[in-house]
Structure 1
């Protein structure tokens, strides 16, 4: 019944919005800036709720709003709704230079210089410079149209220096805009911040709220990454129930993807019990036809067996996995584990028995150049779209999603290799003493 009501309301919203969007597409000059920004907000909320095809319309609207704001007469901004529209546009993926352009032409004082300065610092990557000033101003805008956006910006700016206060600002932002892209962004970043600030209870609570509402968001894969980090870092019998509750809101493919990511993290971290458990659960969720997921589960469960007494069986198992079923990073991971195991099993040379210092092995590992660490490599959390989806007031620093690089580093693999070299050194040192 609730689903039927929701569909009816969504249909009515689309019916009422389409005429305005049609007018906008044909004659954008007819609409004032605030109405165009309302359409942008609707489109962005639609994308967050699963309609990723609307990304192209979002790009079109951002361009049209930019033209409208730059060509508007100064009298247009005597209407505070249009001033708010300019602020919201800047915080919704718009051109930050447009806000500066409008503020420079503002003779009447329609634009609050305090907000302009704060956003100028933030949007140019100097968020730490605006925190104190925005904290003083924000109570005046608590009930304003731009209030939720400002709280999100302030939460981003405070994330590094005061995580607890940052979470409070995120809470204010999402509670002021339920069901919107503001709530989605605030929740997703709250999960990441709580995880990295070692606040697992809050992290699981935020994760549950996100899983209930926004699994169809194009940013849900980012949520999955930080949730996996949270689950692995805080794995225990007490947290098992929380993890299961959160996963219960996901369909089979999404659950399997999360378990594969958990198994990978746990295998690299040497958490044998968790890696084996997650790998088995991923296999149980497989339909049997997808050999790729099964191959990954076998790889991750086999990796934790390398430093154990079952090392020969583990190596034979991961060697048998077809290379075509693994991503470049997982192939590199398998090669690293195999090389380490071969070094452990190799009979020591005569000169190594006289060594008093650890022996350094020379492992040549091919690093990947483009594959992302996403478990299966084909994440069910996000659907690709022809146009990039603009995240809302993107944060700087650790909370910002890393942009693709031509040759991205692989710190997880590096840590695995470092640990492996350390173990080999200890083994050689023991042999030397004998």
Structure 2
């Protein structure tokens, strides 16, 4: 309801309102934050006078419409440093999304700038999530671990946290830990240092994923037989389930 109300106010604003670039910038941030593209269509339609930041509005509209080539042409090389912080954050997130496939290193640098410039906001949270998964696909594993722990501690009650934990657990099951023990240790470290409820849920999802996919530390990807979590004997002599420990898959340990 609130987003619809804001959109209505923007669409009903008098034409002179848009001669103030701050209002155009606010419309761009609104649209890139999920508010819908209607106001940008109006501001950039043919016959409309050129307004401050028109190219930014056109680039944002192209991105929302899925026209990545046009969005990249208009936005990828924009210097966000002179822009107001909120607008710079929205444009930076968009630039990272447009860059991540061909240049993940630059995408990570852009996400660093965004999250550090807007601490405690949804923009920071979004940048942090995206950066974690980009790093997890082959970046700096130490930084991955630090940022994952940061997210799990600071944003564990976010409405997006459940989705993050599902993706985090799924990514664990997709990695060939048997060939990269360093990466396995980094992921396990992030999980082990997370708050207890997060750790328990993530471990459970990972165990389910490994049983289905047959990928685990020391496992054989070509033989995805049944997997089970290994057990270890504690000081009391009772057998207990290890947390973040080893797995047995297809007869391999």
TM-score, structure 1 as length reference: 0.47
Which of residues 266, 280, 304 in structure 1 aligns to 2:241?
Answer: 280
For residues 296-335 of structure 1, what are the alpha-carbon distances to aligned partners after superposition, in whole Å with 9 as ceiling and x for unaligned? xxxxx7xx56x439xxxxxxxxxxxxxxxxxxxxxxxxxx
Does 1:308 find its partner at 2:251? yes
Equivalence for 2:57: 116
Equivalence for 2:196: 251
The separation in 2 between residues aligned to 1:91 and 1:79, in whole angstroms, is: 19
The separation in 2 between residues aligned to 1:178 and 1:196, in whole angstroms, is: 25
Farther off after superposition, 205-214 or 171-180? 205-214
**Maintained 8 Å contact 2:76/2:98:** no
The separation in 2 between residues aligned to 1:256 and 1:144, in whole angstroms, is: 37
What secondary structure, in the 3-state scheme, does the structure 1 residue paired with 2:33 have? coil
Q: Pick closer, same or farther for the CA change 1:107–1:231 going to 2, 3 Å.
A: closer
**Maintained 8 Å contact 1:149/1:182:** yes
The separation in 2 between residues aligned to 1:63 and 1:219, in whole angstroms, is: 22
Q: Pick closer, same or farther for the CA change 1:195–1:229 going to 2, 3 Å.
A: farther
The separation in 1 between residues aligned to 2:163 and 2:17, in whole angstroms, is: 39
Q: Name the structure, 1 or 2, with higher relative contact order (CA <8 Å, separation 6+).
A: 1
Structure 1 or 2: larger strand share? 2
**Maintained 8 Å contact 1:191/1:206:** yes
TM-score, structure 2 as length reference: 0.76
Runs of 4+ in 1 over 6 A off after TM superposition: none
**Maintained 8 Å contact 2:149/2:193:** no
Q: Pick closer, same or farther for the CA change 1:188–1:238 going to 2, 3 Å.
A: closer
Q: Pick closer, same or farther for the CA change 1:105–1:262 going to 2, 3 Å.
A: same
Q: Displacement, 1:82?
A: 1.8
The separation in 2 between residues aligned to 1:246 and 1:220, in whole angstroms, is: 14
**Maintained 8 Å contact 2:172/2:187:** no
Does 1:82 find its partner at 2:23? yes
Which of residues 168, 172, 175 in structure 1 aligns to 2:109?
Answer: 168
For residues 159-188 of structure 1, what are the alpha-carbon distances to aligned partners after superposition, in whole Å with 9 as ceiling and x for unaligned? 111111111111111111111000111111
Counterpart mapping for 1:118-157 below 5 A: 118-139=59-80, 141-157=82-98
The separation in 2 between residues aligned to 1:256 and 1:124, in whole angstroms, is: 39
Q: Pick closer, same or farther for the CA change 1:248–1:197 going to 2, 3 Å.
A: closer
The separation in 1 between residues aligned to 2:49 and 2:65, in whole angstroms, is: 26
- Aligned Cα RMSD in Å? 3.1
Q: Displacement, 1:78?
A: 2.9
Larger Rg: 1
Structure 2: gaps spanning 5 or more residues: 220-227, 232-239
Q: Displacement, 1:158?
A: 0.8
How many residues are treated as equivalent by the alignment?
Answer: 229
Q: Displacement, 1:68?
A: 0.4
Q: Displacement, 1:250?
A: 1.8
Equivalence for 2:11: 70
**Maintained 8 Å contact 2:20/2:52:** no
**Maintained 8 Å contact 2:24/2:52:** yes
Q: Pick closer, same or farther for the CA change 1:138–1:272 going to 2, 3 Å.
A: closer
Q: Displacement, 1:189?
A: 1.0
Q: Pick closer, same or farther for the CA change 1:147–1:277 going to 2, 3 Å.
A: farther
